[in-house]
Chains A and B, each alone.
Chain A
Amino acid sequence: MRLVVDWDRCEANGVCVKAAPEVFRLDEAEDRLNVLMEEVPSELQEKVERAVRVCPRQALSTREK
């Protein structure tokens, strides 16, 4: 599974970080989101899907490779 971030939408509010801290991190200095991996291993898929659902800005989506 591939994670796609719409950078026009993301506003660094960090809701996804709570859902999948292995994948998302806030860059405090730059005040923006960092994505630690774009290819999501199967054990993290469920968490990433949850992040996609809870992102309040609808900035996240996934694609099958």
Chain B
Amino acid sequence: MLEQQSHAAGRSADFKPFSSEYTRDPYPALERLRESAPLLYWDEGRCWLVSRYAMVVQLLRDPRFTTDRQAWEFASANPAHTQCPEFVAMNKNGLFSLDQAAHTRVRKLVSPSFTPRATERLRPAVQAIVDEVLSTAEAGETFDVARDFADKIPVRVIGAMLGIPVSYQDKFHHFADAVIQQLLPMLIPPGSIEANFAAIREGIAMIGEIIDDRRKNPIEGDILTSLIQAEELGDRLNKDELMALVSGLIVGGSETTVHLIGFMVLNLLRRPALMEQVKENPELMKGVLEEVLRFDNFGKLGITRYAKEDTEVEGVPIKKGQMMVLLLNSAMRDASAIDMPDAFDPSRESVTSIAFGNGAHFCLGANLARLEGQVAVGTLVARYPEMQLEGEAVFGPHPLIRKLDSLKVRLGPPR
């Protein structure tokens, strides 16, 4: 490994995740990383890139590394400290950043609402949202799966789960997108930073309003009401944590699943034989969903961890405060961990998937995302069995996501 690292400087410059070629298909570049430099310091990103499955999982389970971005060596250089301190404060208290005991305490307040069984109870509500989104779109001949469908569903599902009026939901998108861009702030173009902060400020103000309103008008059996009551009791959740938790649910709930839905439809349309199988056996959609996340992950890079102390990983010294970017997409194509990784096989066992992370910060909403993907794409395929791709999928620029700007289809006659 040490030897590989000494060759790494040259290769570091070869990694170009912002090229359009990489967006369409990042896998050849990721394979080169796994083969030649599985632990590489990437100068441009000012972080380590970790591309093999075993090392990614090991780091996700390693208490020497934290999710808290305040631990990053360059954290104080983020203009958010001076220009958007309310965002810095909110991050500090979010589920995503909290470490150890505080994380466990806050997560336990919401996790019972996200178990497979609890999530399953939302199925009729999710189905109703999907049906409604589809019914408003049905008039046209061509249909944009990205804009007219995928984009509209997750935001409404998390909104419904938290009992937030539809009028707020448009703003969620804006806020969630801005927060997600802040996961790797060094990639935000300087000219866009002020707009990014403006969207975040507006989102934080909106969450404050939503909480104040629910405090005055509690709802029986409602998640948000129960969190507000926990905060009022004072010992399990403080005010800043409440704000940050609601924000985390909104951001987690309204962004990622959009891309999952788009990528599922794209992968099915590109595989007519599989599409036929799914129509005959709708249960297969579960495996398709898992396999889309594994085989054609919508993430460009991955998730981050920061070294809490000077340490080493497989003999390579890592300095306190350095950022590790764990390339989940690459890890799930690693032949040393996954059998025939380059074959799209919806019947494979999915327990080794790390698309939703692993360890303490494992995605809280994984079961909700799965439910949404199955219902949304399942309904679309069942209602429009003759749906066809129209032209090419169009990918837009995004620092972190292989974002489908448009995915045009001809729906054909409804069933």
- Indicate if the CB atoms of A56 and B115 lie closer than 8 Å: no
The stretch that binds A, out of B143-151, B168-176, B357-365, is B357-365
A8 to B102, CA, bound (A): 12
Could you name 11 residue pairs across A and B whose Cβ atoms are closer than 8 Å?
Answer: A8-B108, A9-B360, A11-B114, A11-B115, A15-B351, A19-B351, A31-B115, A56-B356, A57-B360, A57-B362, A58-B358
Query: Which residues of the partner chain B approach A28 to less than 8 Å between Cβ atoms?
Result: 117
- Indicate if the CB atoms of A31 and B117 lie closer than 8 Å: yes
- Indicate if the CB atoms of A13 and B61 lie closer than 8 Å: no
Contact with A along B338-364 (1 / 0, CB 8 A): 000000000001011000111110100
- Indicate if the CB atoms of A56 and B117 lie closer than 8 Å: no
- Identify the closest chain A residue to B352 (Cβ): A54
- How many Cβ-Cβ contacts under 8 Å join chain A to chain B? 39
A15-B351, A18-B351, A56-B356 known; 9 new pairs, CB 8 Å cut-off, are A8-B108, A9-B104, A12-B115, A12-B116, A13-B115, A18-B349, A56-B362, A57-B359, A58-B360
Tell me the smallest distance from the CB of A40 to a CB of chain B, in Å. Answer: 19
Cβ-based interface call for B311 (8 A): no
A58 to B117, CA, bound (A): 20
- Indicate if the CB atoms of A56 and B358 lie closer than 8 Å: yes
Size of chain A's interface in residues, with CB distance under 8 A?
A: 15
The chain A residues found within 8 Å of chain B, CB to CB, are 8-9, 11-15, 18-19, 28, 31, 54, 56-58
- Identify the closest chain A residue to B119 (Cβ): A13
Contact of B359 among A13, A31, A58 (CB under 8 A): A58
- Which residues 109-165 of B have a CB within 8 angstroms of A? 111-112, 114-118
A18 to B112, CA, bound (A): 21
Query: Which residues of the partner chain B approach A12 to less than 8 Å between Cβ atoms?
Result: 115-117
Tell me the smallest distance from the CB of B234 to a CB of chain A, in Å. Answer: 20
A54 to B117, CA, bound (A): 20
- Identify the closest chain B residue to A50 (Cβ): B351
Query: Which residues of the partner chain A approach B388 to less than 8 Å between Cβ atoms?
Result: none
Cβ-based interface call for B226 (8 A): no
- Identify the closest chain A residue to B357 (Cβ): A56
Cβ-based interface call for B181 (8 A): no
- Identify the closest chain B residue to A58 (Cβ): B359
**From B117, B358, B367, residue with most partner A Cβ within 10 Å:** B117
- Identify the closest chain B residue to A56 (Cβ): B362
A12 to B116, CA, bound (A): 8
Tell me the smallest distance from the CB of B29 to a CB of chain A, in Å. Answer: 27
